[in-house]
A and B are shown apart, each in its own frame.
Chain A
Amino acid sequence: MSGTLGRRLAGSLHRRPRLRLSLLLSAPLLWLVLAYLGSLAALFLSAFWTTDAFTSDVVKVWSTDNFRTVLTTDVYRDVALRSVGVAVAVTVIDIVIAFPIAFYTARVAAPRYRHLLVVAVLTPLWASYLVKAYAWRIMLSENGPLDWALRPLGLDGPGYGLPATIMVLAYLWLPYMILPVHAGLEQLPASLLDASADLGARTWRTFRSVVLPMVLPSVAAGSVFTFSLSLGDYIAVQIVGGKTQLIGNVVYSNITLDLPLAAALGTVPVAVIVVYLLAMRRTGALQSL
């Protein structure tokens, strides 16, 4: 920037770090705090309102009825528990599948292929969410490829339903688990593994006492995605879930009829995820997101 005006501006900016900081922060803060946190706050505020049963209009009278409904109605409690169960199941399945793949790509495969293998994990991550769910809709359809492949074994595919939902969600979020675990395993210093072997530990012992504790933050980072993405999902459930109801679907079906109730229902996954994030923050997982 040339000219005296530019230089003078630059000089005064240089002398005032607080001013520079507030210039940097003003736009993003306005956006994140006002637009995002503001609307979230407004939504949760509306969870304390009620809906007129006849007109479906929102009545702005303070009450905790919606939360009482959510907590005491059996259906909602079952749906909430089922959703958390699905999220946990998806996370566990993804850890179990991701670990051998990541271990192979990070430490077993020949070094010159490792880069290529990471690309192979990344590519499906970039394929559209909907397309992947759609692929499974075809896979699981009646007389579809899965039925066709299992028939010689005398088996049937799972069809649409809760197991299909868990399978598809695990499939969708798998790369989110493989990549951090791969990165964690790759950064593991070889000297530690050698030291462990020198001290007489066999493969399994080294894995348990050295590898596992050190890649735990990576697993935690991956689990933030698998867990929270599963907990909020309602699209995949609509595509392959059959009649399965998860918390996202219940929120979705209440939005137009009873927004305050939908908002109260929406606090359930938010509360669970915030607790989960805070717990994971202690492992250092959020830094490696």
Chain B
Amino acid sequence: MQLSRPARIVLRVAAALGFTVIYVPLLLVLLNSFNAARGFGWPPSGLTLHWWADAWHSSGARSALWTSVKAGLGATAVSLVLGTLLAFAVSRYRFFGREALSFVVVLPIALPGIVTGIALNTAFRTVLEPLGVGLGLFTVVVGHATFCVVVVFNNVVARLRRTSGSYEEAAMDLGADTFQVFRDITFPLVRTALLAGGLLAFALSFDEIVVTTFTAGPGVQTLPVWIFGNMARPQQAPVVNVVAAVLVAASVIPVYLAQRLSADSAAGGRI
């Protein structure tokens, strides 16, 4: 598109402003974790590494992190299995209700988390609790997996749409059976899509707070729940600042991995 020079300059300035607005709050979080003052004072009176040492020894933050990792791994595993099965069914078969099914998969992330949260909460309490399964890490994994399925599904469907079934057919013509075709042809084709989908699912679960609030039993605290609980406590402020800074810094990792894994999960379908 032939843009006039002023138009280019306007766009450049607007983009620069936009990126500034995006990054200033994140940089502020990083800077604030070194703020010497316990309470929040701006501009910072001095810089210190003291709070980082404090945070390192904070048992609450540590166990919350560990809970988050376990919940994330569980939800990722479940959603990888379910999402992949669903993706194969939807993209390789025609059946009644196929369109509706693709719609239902999107619902858990499209509907407000609070609705999903109370729905699952009441269901768990009325169905699982009489069976002796109380709210706990297990129910958190179930809740998270419900909305993680869609990211695996989307990644795998996108990949399957771009690879026709002709490779599989060729393999079958050459005498491979269903399992061999899957192991030697189909799985290698979708492997990076699975990795990318799993990564997204883990990150989604790691960040989730609303559904967690309603599906976690007492004593099960993920990192977001811990942060939210300690945000308003002046005593904990420095540790919260450090944890927040670590999470900002760590957000570079999944981007880096996703970029390396596959092109279709990096820019187009991010959720």
What is the interface of chain A, defined by CB distance below 8 A to chain B?
1, 6-7, 9-11, 13-14, 17, 20-21, 24-25, 27-29, 31-33, 35-40, 42-43, 46, 97-98, 100-101, 103-105, 107-109, 118-132, 134-139, 141, 143-145, 148, 171, 174-176, 179, 182-183, 186, 190, 193, 197, 203, 206-207, 211, 224-225, 228, 231-235, 239, 248, 251-252, 255, 259, 262-263, 266, 269-270, 273, 277, 281, 286, 288-289
Contacts and interface: CB of A to CB of B under 8 A. Distances in A.
Given A137-B231, A179-B267, A186-B267, 18 more contacts: A10-B178, A14-B178, A17-B93, A33-B104, A43-B115, A100-B14, A101-B19, A103-B11, A120-B19, A124-B26, A130-B224, A135-B28, A139-B25, A143-B42, A144-B42, A179-B270, A277-B110, A286-B102
B240 interface: yes
Contacts of B107: 36
A140 B224 CA distance: 21
B32 to A, nearest CB: 6
A49 to B, nearest CB: 11
Contacts of B29: 131, 134-135, 138
Contact of A270 (B42, B106, B115, B183): B115
Contacts of B251: 123-124, 126-128
Nearest to A7: B177
A108 to B, nearest CB: 5
B178 A118 contact: no
Nearest to A45: B122
How large, as a class, is the contact surface on chain B? 35 or more
Nearest to B179: A1
A286 B207 CA distance: 24
Contact of B23 (A124, A144, A145, A288): A124
A105 B244 CA distance: 28
Contacts of A182: 267
B28 A31 contact: no
B270 A132 contact: no
Contacts of B112: 228, 231-233, 248, 266, 269-270, 273
B66 interface: no
B133 interface: no
A28 B86 contact: yes
Given A43-B118, A136-B25, A225-B271, A211 B1 contact: yes
Interface in B57-96: 81-83, 85-86, 88-89, 93, 95
Interface of B: 1-4, 7-8, 10-12, 14-15, 18-19, 21-26, 28-29, 32, 40-43, 81-83, 85-86, 88-89, 93, 95, 101-108, 110-116, 118-120, 122-123, 126, 142, 145-146, 149, 154, 172, 177-180, 183, 203, 206-207, 209-210, 224, 227-228, 231, 240, 244, 247-248, 251-252, 254-255, 258-259, 266-271
Nearest to A120: B19
Contacts of A14: 172, 177-178
- Would you call the interface of chain A mostly helix, strand, loop, or mixed? helix
Nearest to B115: A266
Nearest to B223: A128
Nearest to B126: A42
Contact of A108 (B12, B118, B177): B12
Given A14-B178, A129-B224, A183 B115 contact: no
A40 B118 CA distance: 9
Contacts of B116: 36, 40
Contacts of B26: 124, 127, 132, 135
Contact of A234 (B106, B114, B179, B258): B114
A136 B28 CA distance: 9
B74 to A, nearest CB: 14
Contacts of B180: 1, 10
A130 B111 contact: no
Nearest to B200: A126
A250 B258 CA distance: 38
- Top 4 closest pairs, chain A to chain B, by CB: A232-B112, A39-B123, A10-B177, A104-B15
Given A25-B89, A100-B11, A127-B26, A36 B115 contact: no
Given A122-B255, A228-B110, A277-B110, A145 B22 contact: no
Contacts of B101: 29, 32
A289 B106 contact: yes
**Most chain A CB neighbours (cut-off 10 Å) among B40, B103, B114, B206:** B114
A105 B14 CA distance: 11
Contacts of B118: 43, 251, 255, 259, 262-263, 266
B18 A6 contact: no
B244 A28 contact: no
Given A17-B93, A100-B14, A108 B123 contact: no
